[in-house]
Amino acid sequence: MKKVLITGALGQIGSELVSRLRKDLGIDNVIATDIRKLDDNFICDEGIFEKLDVTDYNSFLKLAKDNKVDTIVHLAALLSATAEKNPKFAWDLNMTGLMNALEIAKELKTKFFAPSSIAAYGPDAQPDNTPQDTVMNPTTMYGVTKVAGELLENYYNRKYNVDSRSVRFPGLISYKVEPGGGTTDYAVDIYYQALLTGKYECYIDKGTKMDMMYMDDAIDAIVKLMNADEKRLVHRNSFNITAMSFAPEEIFESIKKYIPNFKMEYKVDPVRQKIAESWPNSIDDSCARKEWDFNPKFDLDSMTKEMLEKLEQKLKAEGKI
């Protein structure tokens, strides 16, 4: 990776990946793009930013070509809960965007990364320690686009030799930019509410376990996979990766170690609860560990410590606490 174009760069992953790659590759070697305009939420605002609708093939191609990029990181997509509200739009955006991005990667011979998700699995998959290669059968539109996307990325690799690589991300937890429209978002909201109000109303039910990861580990994973020796990769699209698996009561207990008066009650949202129940409790990421040395650093308690410290600083700077 020498010069990278990132779509969805104002999102939760994008904003942190842009900062990291600008540090690694130089400020002018990361072209950040998003359908939204640049605003105060965009942390790394010094380098190149272009407005881009990923369903507009010609504009997408022109941007990649004019900037002579050698890597495309395609992050623009709707997440699970939003996709369930508008499945047709989710299919159109997630699949047309991905197909355009892959066509451009083929045309310009670039490397390629687009994330998949634990949402690629459905209720037929073994729920605990879910294997890398097994029955998927997702029951959400988001999951359907993720499985289709994985197959498409493998297809472009086999047929056109596109160097496509991907991971199945679990819920990602970070303090810089909030996620939007996901089922795992509660695990970010809970830290905000712990600091802002001291109480949290959880829309996911007690006992519902899902895989999660701190954003630093997620960004490291993208960089590590993209730099991995191709000869070691048995899999490509997509590797299971996880750092921890917990239910709401476990993250609540972890926060209580630092904020003893923190309170939580449950007000379950049936739509997001159903999505969460259709996903694994915990996935097996041994292939990623073996094939490209994936090795996350944060567990639940070390993440909670860091989240509360960093988020408190941020909320203070914004005058919110």
Distance in Å, CB of 79 to ligand AKB, minimum = 4
**E-strand spans in the chain?**
4-7, 30-34, 49-51, 71-74, 111-113, 116-117, 163-165, 167-169, 171-173, 199-202, 210-214, 239-240, 244-246, 263-266
Task: Give the C-alpha separation, 152 to 15, whole Å.
Answer: 26
φ and ψ of 34, to 5 deg: -160, 155
Q: Considering 57, 121, 142, 203, which one is annotated as catalytic?
A: 142
Q: Which chain residues interact with ligand AKB by CB under 6 A?
A: 79-80, 117-119, 142, 169, 171, 182-184
Give the residue nearest to ligand AKB (CB): 182
Question: Of the two residues 184 and 278, which places its CB atom closer to ligand AKB in the complex?
Answer: 184
Distance in Å, CB of 10 to ligand AKB, minimum = 16
Task: Give the C-alpha separation, 214 to 148, whole Å.
Answer: 26
Question: Of the two residues 26 and 207, which places its CB atom closer to ligand AKB in the complex?
Answer: 207
Q: What is the rounded end-to-end Cα distance, in angstroms, of the chain?
A: 40
Distance in Å, CB of 142 to ligand AKB, minimum = 6
Distances (CA, A) of 65 to 4, 60, 110, 170, 216: 11, 9, 10, 32, 30
Active site residue 142: yes
Task: Give the C-alpha separation, 26 to 145, whole Å.
Answer: 33
Question: Of the two residues 118 and 195, which places its CB atom closer to ligand AKB in the complex?
Answer: 118
Question: Of the two residues 64 and 307, which places its CB atom closer to ligand AKB in the complex?
Answer: 307
Distance in Å, CB of 36 to ligand AKB, minimum = 18
Question: Of the two residues 63 and 75, which places its CB atom closer to ligand AKB in the complex?
Answer: 75
Distance in Å, CB of 214 to ligand AKB, minimum = 13
Active site residue ranges: 142
